[in-house]
Amino acid sequence: MKLDRRRFLQTTSATAAVMAAPGIIGRAAADDTIKMVSILDQSGGLDIYGKPMVDTTVMAVEEINAAGGLLGKQIDLKTYDPQSNIQFYTQFATQAAASDKADVVHAGITSASREAIRATFNRFRTLYFYNTLYEGGVCDRSTYCTGSTPAQTVEKLVPYVMKKWGKKVYIVAADYNYGHITADWVEKYVRDNGGENVATEFFPLDVNNFGTTIKKIQAAKPDLVMSALVGGAHVAFYRQYAAAGMNNSIPIASTTFGVGNEHTLISAEEGNGMIVAYSYLQEIDTPTNKDFVGRFQAKYGADAPYINELAARSYEGAYLWAEGVKKAGSTDLAAVIEALDTPVSYNGPSGKLEVEPKTHHAVQNVYLAELQGQKYNILETYEQQQPADTLLVCDLVKEPNQSKFYFENGLEAAGIK
Amino acid sequence: MIRSRETRWSLFAAAVGVVFLFAAPQVFELFTIINLTTVLALAILALSLALVWGYGGILCFGQTMFFGLGAYAYTIAAINIGETTAPIFIAIFVAAAFAAILGYFIFYGRVSDVYLAVITLTVTLIFYSLLRSTSGPEYKIGNALLGGFNGVTSPPLNIPGDPSNVLYPEDMFYVAMAALILAYLFCVWLTQTHFGRVMVAIRENELRAELLGYDIRLYKLALFAIGGGIAGMAGVLFANGIGRVTPDIFNLYNTALTIIWVIVGGRGTLIGPVLGAIALFYLTSGLGTQASINNNLVLGIILIVFVLLVPRGILPGVIGIWDRAQSRSKLLRSEKRMRRRRAPRRPEQEAANDG
Amino acid sequence: MTGEIVLETRNLSQHFGGVVAVDRVNFTLWDAELRCLIGPNGAGKSTFFKCLTGQLSPTEGDVVIRDFHAGGREPHEVARLGVGIKTQVPNVFDGLSVEENVWLAARRWQGAKRAKVLTDETLERLVLGDIRNDLVGVLAHGQRQWVELGMVVAAEPWLVLLDEPTAGMTQEEVLRTADLIKEINQTATMIVVEHDMQFIRMIANQVTVFHEGRILIEDTMDAVARDQRVRDVYLGHRQQ
Amino acid sequence: MDLAIALALQIIYGIANLVLISLGLAIIFGMMRVINLAHGEFIMLGGYVVVISTNHGVNLWFAMLILAPVVVGLIGVIVERLLIRHLYGRMVDTLLATWGLSLVLIGLITTIFGAQTATTISAPLGAVPIGEYSTSGYELFLIAVAIVLSVVVYLALKFTRIGLVARGTMQAADMASALGVSTSKVYAITFGVGAAVSGFAGALLAPLTGVLPTIGATYIAKAFITVISGGTAILAGTTSASVLLGGINGIVSFGIGPTMGEVALLVAAVILLRLMPRGITGRIFRKSL
């Protein structure tokens, strides 16, 4: 079956090349712009992630255009809202690739949506940027995943908090692929650092009553809780944890708390003392970042949402792609990929972001921070972290013609662990 | 006895479908044709609920469960078998068989009405909860890993007997459109049979149907299973349209949406819900290309205005306007005829009827 | 009584919570009979009727129709024996035409061709031909009753159970119903539940009187009419 | 022993939580036979009233106990006047209308306040120690509120004029009009009260959960299943179903895990409805409220 599938992809890329012919003519006619499409949820349950991502994408494109555009052309950005619904992801992906003939598509929040549209972009030979932090493992020649992956953040966070708080760790995680894989990495690094993993518990994404678990944590008496909880409903965990007085006795560390700006959805006293790890935080104290935050707030007002990693990376992802186009001197897929893999880097709000050519992921800075008064105090900065997890399975330099998602069924199935 | 008008219109609708089948690829852009597979899959799902609910009166709030089961069964079977012809039938069978089992559980327990709605909804949500937590490697059926929340990649259909010869997404349109036309004609035929009439009778009055000697439990179960099978087939097409199956198929939003399509299209018709599903899909996706106003807001307002202005759904609304003009004159004629015949013989009855 | 027993209840009881609606009734119906069940409201005759037709599952005792133990069975199983049933409230298919209603009854037992013929015959016999294409839901109450009778007739039953067939009918319609019932009785054994005494006089020879869930008396109409207990419980009740 | 007490309290809280999120839906369904698919959004609105008003310096208790039920109740009355009243007797159309309403409310809140709104509140009343364990004092307070709310609804059903109509409606759907009461007014009040109770629940849960425009989806399915499993009696049905489903959920969550806890709740509802096709109060407690 695997063979058949590959064959299908080959045949389809052949057809795509044929079909691209009229496309090229069409493109030549409207050659005065470069086409970029963004497909991100701006309504439905995922809009807490999607809306800030769209805001920063728009901002990046406007800035690039204001600075004279790319290769002397303006970027024509189209944004589609799939409304947290997978059928609209494929609908808009096909539209972007086959009708808009996009030069690049920045799209996708959940891994499910990314996998659904990645096949379409492969088929139509469309360059694809995925700017969300995720479980890692995508290995695809025409896809670039710029977000952080668990090995990058968890690897730093776990030893730090174990040193600070103790060796007994209790893991709570969202019951889906990302939660499971993140929990696996946490377990690994706890073991590697000589700690003890007391228990791991998984929660469906729509559960918002955590009472019994909090009692279990009280019974287990760990030194710290590692959270890989995700989404609006899971915000309840931190609140109920604090309500039971636990936040003062057993601290929480997380690599997921904050991607949906959870730290503003709970009060200061509930969140104080939590430690997180991300590759971007709004509080990063560099001139580039301060300037970026200032421009963002000027554009979207003082009530603008907190800029989290997803939002910042969407901005940086657009610039990273633009660097690739500049270097290639064209928007041709092969040329841009070649240019990006040289590798291209971009000094953005999060620091230096560089393409890792073997995996098409990003080498990036990782920041450890403590939450105080709904704001993060940065504790540690780890420069230029490699996407170590994806590197274990993926080498696009050796084997360029790949389009796989190695961690589709967890780390064990991928031969790690 | 045979409702000739309905038959005529149904055949007309099917003919329009056939014309569309051949004309669409010439008229529309490639991406529209590719996306139509998904839209048509949803339309067939709407058709299955139109049959089960609109004709059979069974308010199934979980029609997507059979749709999802079909999609998953197809994908898992295709991964294991290495070709896709048998998996199509496996998918339809699995969906229909599960509907039959659930139907036995429901109808032989005399569960009906809103209670039935909740049972079907709940079973759907059970699938949703369970499938989301199958991300580990231990959850596999044969060679197919279930993939949890992220779902499984679905192999594309191949030409029967030639597993290496897979269909392009744009070719899938022909399969999906043909499936819709055939499923529609099958449903039309079914409603014209004795079985179909009894189903309508059961919808109208369960007790009377029983008193005539019809085992309504069995009839409902049969209709439920048929509807499940059709939904399962739609699931196969959906898996092909998206290229992937995910547990989201089973979520509350999607299962409620199926109900909404049928209401918008009009209950008691078969083509109405099909149009309802297509219309709402394109309305929603059309809204998704703009970003100035929140999509939920616009869609919600449209639905509310719709329910106030077109209370019976699109198709019955149109038919109603058409009929009122037609039947008014007809009624007048038949009343005159009746009066002529009866008046001399039974004047007192006329009086009684008037009173 | 002579001939064969076609329907029998043995110690039939139906309780609703603490209320005993039917209390250990032993009832026997003979072949070709036309039996009327009467009694004041709340006497238990309708509950008794529902036990016969499978609409209620008796708390105790059994109903035997020929050799079939019908107690606690589903209505369709009772109907399947060849029993035609008309309920108190007209139970018809409101959204269907008169013709379709009757056809559905005929088609249950017959092939398509014979069902068509039978439908036409029945419509003619019940003078429903003029309204055959009308939706039953829009008809007057009495007409709906007739449609339901038509459905009973079209099934060609050998045993017919009618619960208040003349309720809501005009005098004219009542007369025609009486004729029809006598006609049906030519080929079928019948039980008719009624409380319209005038109507019962028109059709009945043998009458069973219910009172407080039990059979009070079972005799000819004349004898029942003369019985003092019946006057007390039934007629007395009616005068209130 | 301490664990047993702490757990028992937790399970009772789970039950109280289910009562709170279901009762508003039960009132509207029980009296009007309207399945309100915007129920989750009424809960969400209650949460928003609390978050927005406390952000503007309103006292938390005042916002939760008074402001939220009043505001959401008024919204309920307005919705009934403008929308629902046109659809009585058309149960199916109300599904569509309330679905549309739910989208409108989500869209409206997102448009006004954005996809998320920062909050300053946290659960009051601190933690209560139980031996080696501790539980949230606020959760204990919510258990008390659920009980008080149930008693208030009981008294209202038993002793008020609207309660009389409600009881009539529960027994037979068309009784209300037969009683000669102005049903139009009764329905408006009912819908308003149902919305107010839902808003109240949302407000009370606001310090313990995330308040987001789309959070209603978390509640609606569970509330719907609880109410229908309970049967037609508004109070007895909802509370008995909450006890059963919430209890099973709590026990299985602790014993096996949260995912299985959710599944167990759903499975229990399915089996319950198979055994009691008209819900719990369709079979037992038939004459209850």
E strands, chain B, in order: 140-141, 144-145, 152-153, 158-159, 162-166, 244-245
- For A89, the closest chain B residue by CA position comes to B242
Residue in D closest to B258 by C-alpha: D96
Rounded distance, CA A151 to CA A148, Å? 8
Contact D270 B303 (CB under 8 A): no
Count other Cβ atoms within 10 Å, centred on residue D89: 9
Nearest-angstrom CA–CA distance, A262 and A256: 9
Q: Which of D32, D6, D36 is nearest to D21 (CA)?
A: D36
User: What confidence category does residue B353 fall into, taking pLDDT thresholds of 50, 70 and 90?
Assistant: very low
| pLDDT recorded at residue A218 | 86
Q: Tokens for D288, please give them.
A: 């209850």
pLDDT surpasses 80 at B210: yes
Give D180's pLDDT tier (boundaries 50, 70, 90).
low
Task: Based on the fold, state whether residues B68 and B100 are members of the same structural domain.
Answer: yes
**Number of folded domains in chain B?**
2
CATH number at C15 reads 3.40.50.300
Q: Is D111 on the interface with B (CB under 8 A)?
A: yes
Across the interface, which of A80, A98, A177 has its CB nearest the CB of B34?
A98
Q: Which pair of tokens denotes residue A287?
A: 């001139």
Partner B contacted by D102 (CB < 8 A): yes
> CB of B65 within 8 Å of any CB in chain D?
no
- Look up the domain containing B126 and give its range: 4-311
Instruction: Return left, alpha or beta for B151; rule: phi > 0 is left, psi -120 to 50 is alpha, else beta.
Output: left
CA distance linking residue C219 with residue C207, whole number of Å: 6
Please indicate whether, in this complex, the C-beta atoms of B303 and D277 are within 8 angstroms of each other.
Answer: no
Q: Is the pLDDT of residue A8 over 60?
A: no
Question: Looking at per-residue confidence, does A383 or B327 come out higher?
Answer: A383
- A and C interact (at least 3 Cβ pairs within 8 A): no
Contact B31 A94 (CB under 8 A): yes
Q: How confident is the model at residue D284 (pLDDT cuts 50, 70, 90)?
A: low
Assess whether pLDDT exceeds 60 at residue B339. Answer: no
Residue A143 contacts residue A130 (beta carbons within 8 Å): yes
Rounded mean pLDDT, D69-85: 91
Contacts of D220 in chain B (CB under 8 A): 252
Q: What is the pTM of this model?
A: 0.87
Interchain proximity A206–D133, CB inside 8 Å:
no
Name the DSSP letter for residue A373: T
Residues of chain A neighbouring B145 (CB-CB closer than 8 A) = 408-409, 413
pLDDT at A6: 39
Q: How far is CA A241 from the centre of its chain?
A: 27
User: B-chain residues within 8 Å CB-CB of A91?
Assistant: 35, 38, 285
pLDDT digits (tens, 9 = 90+) for B142-190: 888 888 888 888 888 888 888 888 888 888 899 999 999 999 999 999 9
Same domain, B194 and B299: yes
Does some domain include residue C66?
yes
pLDDT of the residue at C236:
54
CB contact under 8 A, B78 and A78: no
Mean pLDDT of the region B281-310: 83
Burial class for A21, CB neighbours closer than 10 Å (0-12, 13-18, 19+)? exposed
**Other residues' Cβ atoms within 10 Å of the Cβ of residue B232:** 34
How does pLDDT run across C68-127, given as a tens digit for each residue? 888 878 888 888 888 988 888 888 888 888 888 888 888 888 888 888 888 888 888 888
Whole-number Å distance between alpha carbons of A178 and A201: 14
Taking 60 as the threshold, does the pLDDT of residue B354 lie above it? no
The verdict on B68 touching A (C-beta cutoff 8 Å) is no
Residues in chain A within 8 Å Cβ distance of B296? 43-44, 83
- What integer pLDDT is reported at residue D242 of this predicted model? 92
Asked if D209 lies within 8 A of A233 by C-beta distance, the reply is yes
pLDDT category of residue D285 using cuts at 50, 70 and 90: low
Query: CA distances (Å), C103 to each of A362, C86, D59, in order?
Result: 74, 16, 71
Q: Which of D5, D215, D224 to mutate to test the interface with A (most CBs of A within 10 A)?
A: D215
Per-residue pLDDT, A23: 36
The number of C-alpha atoms within 13 Å of C74 and in the hemisphere containing its C-beta is 18
CB pairs under 8 A between B and D: 122
pLDDT tens profile D7-66: 888 889 889 999 999 999 998 888 777 888 899 999 999 999 998 998 888 888 998 899
Q: Residue B348 pLDDT > 50, yes or no?
A: no
Q: Do B197 and C76 touch (CB under 8 A)?
A: no
Asked if D203 has any chain B CB less than 8 Å from its own CB, the reply is no
Give the distance from residue B219's alpha carbon to the nearest chain A alpha carbon, in angstroms: 34
Asked if residue B176 and residue B127 are part of one domain, the reply reads: yes
Q: How would residue B351 be classed by pLDDT, with cut points 50, 70 and 90?
A: very low
pLDDT(B1) > 70: no
**Same domain as B328, residue B224:** no
**Mean confidence (pLDDT) of chain B:** 84
Share of chain D above pLDDT 90, in %: 27
For residues B39-58, average pLDDT: 93
B250 and B342, same domain (yes or no): no
Q: Do B209 and C172 touch (CB under 8 A)?
A: no
Task: Write out the H or E segment, with its range, that includes residue A128.
Answer: strand A127-130
Domain boundaries, chain D: 2-220
How high is the mean pLDDT of chain A? 85
Return the structure tokens found at B100. 């039959």
My answer on whether B209 and B334 are in the same domain is no
Spell out the SS3 assignment of C11-61.
EEEEEECCEEEEEEEEEEEECCCEEEEECCCCCCHHHHHHHHHCCCCCCEE
Closest by CA position to D273, among listed D209, D230, D218: D230
Q: What's the pLDDT at D262?
A: 87
pLDDT of residue B263: 87
Integer Cα distance of B278 and B32 in angstroms? 13
Residues of A in contact with D262 (CB under 8 A): 204, 207
The answer to the question of residue B253 being in a domain is yes
Q: Is the model's pLDDT at D140 over the cut of 60?
A: yes
Residues B253 and B338 in one domain: no
Strands (E), C73-197: 83-86, 159-163, 189-193
Domain that holds residue C201: 1-82+157-168+193-240
Residue B316 falls inside a structural domain: no
Percent of chain A with pLDDT over 70: 92
- Name, in order, each residue with C-beta under 8 angstroms of C140's C-beta and a sequence gap of 6 or more: B353
Please give the Cα distance from B105 to A38 (Å, whole number): 47
Residue C32 lies in a domain: yes
Contacts of A413 in chain B (CB under 8 A): 137, 145
Task: Tell me the mean pLDDT in the region B310-335.
Answer: 69
Q: Do B306 and D110 touch (CB under 8 A)?
A: no
- Nearest-by-Cβ selection for D104 from B112, B126, B304: B304
Q: Name which of A4, A7, A409 is nearest B147 (Cβ-Cβ).
A: A409
The 10s digit of each residue's pLDDT in A363-387 is: 999 999 998 888 899 988 998 889 9
Report the pLDDT value the prediction gives residue A69, as an integer from 0 to 100.
87
Using pLDDT thresholds of 50, 70 and 90, give the confidence band for residue B273.
Answer: very high
pLDDT bracket for residue B218 (50, 70, 90): very high
> CB B1 to CB C95 under 8 A?
no
Single-letter amino acid code for the residue at A200: T
Whether C240 maps to a domain, the answer reads yes
pLDDT surpasses 70 at A1: no
**pLDDT tens readout for residues D108-127:** 998 888 777 777 787 888 77
A-contacting chains (≥3 CB pairs under 8 Å):
B, D
Tell me: the pLDDT tens digits for B115-152?
A: 888 899 999 999 998 898 888 778 888 888 888 888 88
Q: What is the pLDDT of residue B329?
A: 61
What's the burial of A279, exposed, middle or buried (CB within 10 Å: 0-12/13-18/19+)? buried
**Cα of A235 vs its chain's centroid, Å:** 19
Residues of chain C with pLDDT under 70: 1-2, 234-240
Is A260's CB within 8 Å of D118's CB? no
Q: Of chain B residues 274-293, which have a CB less than 8 A from chain A?
A: 281, 284-285, 287-291
Q: Which residues on chain D are in Cβ contact (under 8 Å) with B136?
A: none
Verify that B343 and B234 share a domain, yes or no. Answer: no
Residue-range domains of chain A with CATH: 32-148+286-364+385-413 (3.40.50.2300), 151-278 (3.40.50.2300)
Q: Judge whether residue A10 has pLDDT over 50.
A: no
